[in-house]
Chain A
Amino acid sequence: QKEVEQDPGPLSVPEGAIVSLNCTYSNSAFQYFMWYRQYSRKGPELLMYTYSSGNKEDGRFTAQVDKSSKYISLFIRDSQPSDSATYLCALIIQGAQKLVFGQGTRLTINP
């Protein structure tokens, strides 16, 4: 069983739709949760970073963490074609040195 499971998609939605991206994990020691966006031929760029259970909002993006269910989500409101990219969840154990990534979900927003 992978430490972090993420549906690879691809996911295709019309412009303006609400997008929901999800990851599940098995190790309760994960304490920090991140979402990265990766455009084709580019490196991952940090979108959201959370520590505690609950919601964190930044513009059109909301990150949600449910530690009891070991489930994290990223919501994108009013999706734009420029949001088309691969989204990767990444988790880290406090004090550890390395991020553990999900497989990434390829998202396409259709104009």
Chain B
Amino acid sequence: NAGVMQNPRHLVRRRGQEARLRCSPMKGHSHVYWYRQLPEEGLKFMVYLQKENIIDESGMPKERFSAEFPKEGPSILRIQQVVRGDSAAYFCASSHLRDRNNSPLHFGNGTRLTVT
């Protein structure tokens, strides 16, 4: 997992604050995916991005959540006005387009968001 870097590892926010989660993909990877894992549950797809483009955001809540992957810099998952139900582990994964079907996703170690 060392290739995909996520920070911070732990994030504590009070209700109503904003949370910003960052993800740097593996070197050479131009595709980023965000997943959310609630306690005792599997990972749920949120959004798939390429550089400067959102490809699939079908798993993103309609409000308060947004994601970007700029030309330069890490991918950002932003949660506005956080609520306690947003408390979860958020994982980022990356892949190379050419290998998408032959080389599955590589995950980071996640950001654990706690909303108090």
| Interfacial residues, chain A to chain B (CB-CB below 8 A) | 4, 6, 8, 32, 34, 36, 41-46, 49, 88, 90, 92, 94-95, 97-104
Closest to B33 in A: A98
A32 B108 Cβ-Cβ under 8 A: no
B45 and A103 form a contact (CB under 8 A): no
Inter-chain pairs besides A32-B104, A43-B1, A103-B41, 12 sampled, C-beta below 8 Å: A4-B42, A6-B42, A34-B104, A36-B107, A43-B4, A43-B107, A43-B108, A44-B107, A49-B104, A94-B101, A97-B48, A101-B43
Would B42 and A46 count as touching, CB distance under 8 A?
Answer: no
Q: Cβ of A98 and Cβ of B56 under 8 Å apart?
A: yes
Docked CA distance A71–B75 (Å):
35
List, in ascending order, chain B residues with CB within 8 A of A41's CB.
109, 112
B25-52 vs A: 1/0 string, CB under 8 Å? Answer: 0000000010100001111110010000
A9 CB to closest chain B CB (Å) equals 10
Number of chain B residues whose Cβ lies closer than 8 Å to a Cβ of chain A: 25
Q: Determine if B43 and A44 form an interchain contact, defined as CB atoms under 8 angstroms apart.
A: yes
Which of B42, B55, B110 contacts A97, CB < 8 Å? B55
Q: Contact residues of B with A, CB < 8 Å?
A: 1, 4, 33, 35, 40-45, 48, 55-56, 59, 91, 100-101, 104-110, 112
A-side contacts of B100, CB under 8 Å: 97
Chain B residue contacts of A42, Cβ below 8 A: 1, 109-110
Chain A residue nearest to B43 (CB atoms) is A101
Residue of B33, B35, B41, B104 touching A46 (CB-CB under 8 A): B104
CA–CA, A2 to B44, complex, Å? 12
